[in-house]
Amino acid sequence: MAGKSSPLLLAEIPDPPGKPRQQFLYPDLYKNVRKDLVESIAVCFDSIQHDELSLRYRVSTQSSVYLNTFWLWMLEYTAGRDLDELARSFSSVVREFVIWNELNIPYRRFLSERFKNRGETDLTICAVDFDNRIEYQNALQLVSVGILLRDEVSVGQIVSAMDSNRHADALYEQLIVDYLKHPRDDMDEAIFAKPYGTLVSAYFQENPSASLDAVQSYLKNWYRYQAGARWYDAHKRIQEHCAFYYGYWAFEAGATAYLLDLDDSGINHRMYPKDLVAYAKRLRDANLVTSSLDVPIDETE
């Protein structure tokens, strides 16, 4: 891993980039949270460069690089950063996610050899554990952002990295249907029935109005099921203008509304990424994508 290039982050700007998309964020909080995330990414990245690190620590540290990079992207979205800028930077988040999963392969080989007397270790298992509600939610958010940015390359990379999570959860399967040669669009059971089963039901309604009702119901209940996440209730624990607050966003609800082409004009829930859904629809109507599987994005530009 020595020589790996550092994460590609949006350039720092002296002030918050625009009107915050959620009311909890204010200038001093934005600056301090951003500073902490950038420093955490740098520390974790530097740690990974040491070849003597154990595989377990390397995987864990790369997980932190990925999560902090994603949280930084989310913070910038919450702070009002321009959507075109955010679209161009999203591939850097996905790159860290892919690297995390790539590091998981030699780690699982190590486990297989170390514990060979206890049975075989499946080397194909993704680093994301769908049985862990927090990791599951993170994965839904990541793939949903890629869908809403119409970033085909990034979504393809996420789906490929998470191949071992296929056919396990209906919501994930519904979200990625358009990116698969052999989709499982008949699945209707979520790993976590509450609240995700409600959003799954949106895909099986007979009319758009019923689907929209399902999305609205999901949004009403989404937040209370996120307890345990690092950022949960962070706006209530702000100290000295610092907190683990990056924004509270049910991106998967937005991706569902976009994929089902629902009229979301009546959705005003604070955790619904309404402008990002509108952005996706504008790109679709203009037959545009952020990146195409036919023309891969060039991260060096």
7, part of any domain: no
Which pLDDT belongs to residue 8? 63
Position 111 scores a pLDDT of 66
For residues 73 and 132, give the distance between their C-alpha atoms in angstroms, rounded to a whole number. Answer: 23
Q: How far apart are CA 103 and CA 90, in angstroms?
A: 21
Structural domain includes residue 3: no
Q: What pLDDT is recorded for position 122?
A: 59
Residue 130 belongs to a domain:
yes
**Identity (one letter) of the amino acid at 67?**
L
Question: pLDDT tens track of the chain, all 301 residues?
Answer: 444 666 667 777 767 678 999 999 999 999 999 999 999 999 999 998 876 778 888 889 999 999 999 999 999 999 999 999 999 999 999 999 999 999 888 777 776 666 666 666 555 678 899 999 999 999 999 999 999 999 999 999 999 999 989 999 999 999 999 998 888 888 999 999 999 999 999 999 999 999 999 999 999 999 999 999 999 999 999 999 999 999 999 999 999 999 999 999 999 999 999 999 999 999 999 999 998 766 433 333 3
**What pLDDT does 282 receive?**
97
Instruction: For residue 264, give the nearest of 223, 222, 216 by alpha carbon.
Output: 216
Q: What is the pLDDT of residue 300?
A: 34
Q: Tell me the residue range of the domain where 266 lies.
A: 27-285
Would you say residue 224 lies in a domain? yes
Indicate the number of domains in the chain: 1
What are the tokens at 111? Answer: 């486990």
Cα 38–chain centre separation: 18
pTM of the model: 0.91
Would residue 300 count as lying in a domain?
Answer: no
Q: Read off the pLDDT of residues 210-264 as tens digits, 9 standing for 90 and up.
A: 999 999 999 999 999 999 999 999 999 999 999 999 999 999 999 999 999 999 9
Instruction: Tell me whether residue 74 is in a domain.
Output: yes
Q: Quick check: is 16 in a domain?
A: no
CATH number at 198 reads 1.10.3920.10
The crossing angle, in degrees rounded to 10, of helices 83-114 and 133-148 is 140
Task: Please compute, for residue 203, the number of CA atoms within 13 A of its CA located in the half-sphere on the CB side.
Answer: 25
Residue type for 227, please? A
Tally Cβ neighbours within 10 Å of residue 125.
15
Looking at the chain, the whole-number percentage of residues with pLDDT higher than 90 is: 74
Residue 76 in any domain: the answer is: yes
Phi/psi region, residue 80 (left: phi>0; alpha: psi -120 to 50; beta: rest), is: left
Q: How far is CA 208 from CA 64, 155, 271, in A?
A: 39, 25, 21
